[in-house]
Structure 1
Amino acid sequence: MNLIIDKEWLLKNLNEQNVRIVDCTFSLADPKKGRQEYENIHIPGACYFDLEGDLSGEAAEHGGRHPMPDIEAFSDKLEHAGIDENTTVISYDQGEGAFAARFWWLLQYLGHEKVFVLDGGFKGWREGNYPVTSDVPAFKKTTFKPEINLAMLASIDEVRAVADEQDTNTILIDSREERRYLGLEEPIDKKAGRIPGAINKPWFEGLNAGYYKPADIQKQRFTDINPESEIIVYCGSGVTAAPNYLALKAAGFEKVKLYLGSFSDWISYQENKIE
């Protein structure tokens, strides 16, 4: 499944009216840095979507650190970016992969299938000596009608069924680095450990210097998983699980869901067990 676009394709189609580029640059350490970097330099024609301001809702008691954004507000932002059902959308970040994949997942969740991630991100674009600008574009407002794909989203009850061993047919994948999965350290969330029954597939192992590994290599990463299995991916807050979701789909896995609240939502319920 072709979910990733290379920079050569984007260069050829840079001025196409039905192509929209979305810069998702973000820094978890400095939330203002992403927009500042976008305003300083970006791919020509790119608009900006902020992880916390646009791609996430307000954090509450439950829902995790980066909960689902308000769908109406997100759709309105898409309309002001000139995106409708006919637009081919390319998202990118600085090459980390997670922020662009978060946008990609959200747009897919809203029923827009013509959305792709730029392989290599902005770092790869710059390495190719391709054009950049500081000009911020304006677009004619469109109409965007979301058609929610509920099959992409896992509920906490579905995750609980796996953790409680009531559902033995679903594979739960923890996308965080091994030390967090094992509970040896936890730099962000209030508790350390993992959701019971989860296996570990660190998200960054699907990329090489910002470029997604080929589909056959992705398949090798997941050889211990039956392609017919139901799969739920999670991470700390639903962001770095998105590249694993994308990698699984690229590898041909069909039954994949994202637990958006992820571990930060899981631990917000005192009754939930931690392994």
Structure 2
Amino acid sequence: MKYVKDSEWLLNHLNDRNVRIVDCRFSLADSQMGNINYLESHLPGAVYFDLEKDLSGTVVDHGGRHPLPDVDVLVSKLEKAGISQEMTVIAYDNGEGAFAARFWWMLQYLGHDNVYVLDGGFKNWLDEDFPVTADIPTFKREDFRVGLRSELLATYEEVKDTVAKQNKVLIDSREAKRYLGLEEPIDKKAGHIPSALNKPWMEGLSGGCYLPASKQLQRFSDLDSNQPIIVYCGSGVTAVPNFLALKEAGFEKVKLYIGSFSDWISYEENKIESSS
């Protein structure tokens, strides 16, 4: 696959100076758990990036629960971790896929090409009995040159225009019961953005591993690959596996609405559709 590497590949590149490994483990139920797990045990040479402290900005009235971080701040953290444009970067989480994919998308957005997600994540790595360590690595500071790809990001204004004109495909990546408004454990309102289709993100993975491109194409067989697509979820995290899967399936005109449903409902005037 184009954006996913398996454990065997990474095992063979553990000592490659031009490969940087990023641990993105995180728990939405306990925001400290990812860093605790990292300090206990991680892949050799891995640095840690936290979903909320590193890969998200400050939560305000609008922008969603995990808004974009300040680009300059994120770039400084990447440079401190020894990540430059010349590095091959591979991110992993515990096997959920979404947290590593968020990092993958962020680097794509910053203009970095050689970034990948580790298939199966940390869980699969342990299952393979591959090496782990508690040693915290340090690297020489590198220079990261930013080349923002605005074409990967859907703004709130673009989503609002899409709802009005229905000139793009909106994909809600959450599980069906949240899309339908039958259950909403996180956000203040239930339902989905008007006209959105439901393509649950977890259906693109099996056992923590991404389905092959041919299977992803089957998932999206009802979509026109020439039509622009905007993916969203609750807060711009679990939508990214769908973004990645669409790219693997050959869809080029794909954007992420990073504020997602939590941003959409922050505007009282916005309509919501549900089955209730």
- Taking structure 2 as the reference length, the TM-score comes to 0.98
- Structure 2 CA distance for aligned equivalents of residues 211 and 176 of structure 1: 18
1:169 Cα deviation after fit: 3.0
CA RMSD of aligned residues (A): 0.7
State whether structure 2 residue 176 is matched by structure 1 residue 178.
Answer: yes
1:237 corresponds, among 218, 235, 238, to 235
State whether structure 2 residue 259 is matched by structure 1 residue 257.
Answer: no
Cα pair 1:109 1:152 within 8 Å, conserved: yes
- Structure 2 CA distance for aligned equivalents of residues 106 and 85 of structure 1: 13
Aligned length: 273
- Structure 1 CA distance for aligned equivalents of residues 262 and 145 of structure 2: 30
1:271 Cα deviation after fit: 1.2
State whether structure 2 residue 130 is matched by structure 1 residue 122.
Answer: no
1:3 maps to what in 2? 3
Cα pair 1:162 1:197 within 8 Å, conserved: no
1:113 maps to what in 2? 113
Cα pair 1:3 1:115 within 8 Å, conserved: yes
* Match runs of 1:95-244 below 5 Å: 95-164=95-164, 166=165, 168-244=166-242
Letter in 1 for 2:67: P
Letter in 2 for 1:55: L
1:40-92 deviation line (CA, Å, top 9, x unaligned): 00000000000000000010000000000010110000001100010000000
- Structure 1 CA distance for aligned equivalents of residues 188 and 145 of structure 2: 38
Letter in 2 for 1:97: G
1:127 Cα deviation after fit: 0.7
Letter in 2 for 1:3: Y
- Taking structure 1 as the reference length, the TM-score comes to 0.98
- Structure 1 CA distance for aligned equivalents of residues 2 and 132 of structure 2: 26
1:143-188 deviation line (CA, Å, top 9, x unaligned): 1121100000001111112212x1x331000000000000111100
1:239-262 deviation line (CA, Å, top 9, x unaligned): 000100000000100000000000
Q: SS in structure 2 opposite 1:257?
A: strand
1:233 Cα deviation after fit: 0.1
Moved over 6 A (4+): none
- Structure 1 CA distance for aligned equivalents of residues 146 and 93 of structure 2: 24
2:36 maps to what in 1? 36
User: Aligned residues: percent identity?
Assistant: 63
Q: SS in structure 2 opposite 1:227?
A: coil
State whether structure 2 residue 57 is matched by structure 1 residue 57.
Answer: yes
- Structure 2 CA distance for aligned equivalents of residues 82 and 157 of structure 1: 36
- Structure 2 CA distance for aligned equivalents of residues 129 and 20 of structure 1: 21
Q: SS in structure 2 opposite 1:141?
A: coil
1:99-124 deviation line (CA, Å, top 9, x unaligned): 00000000000000100000010011
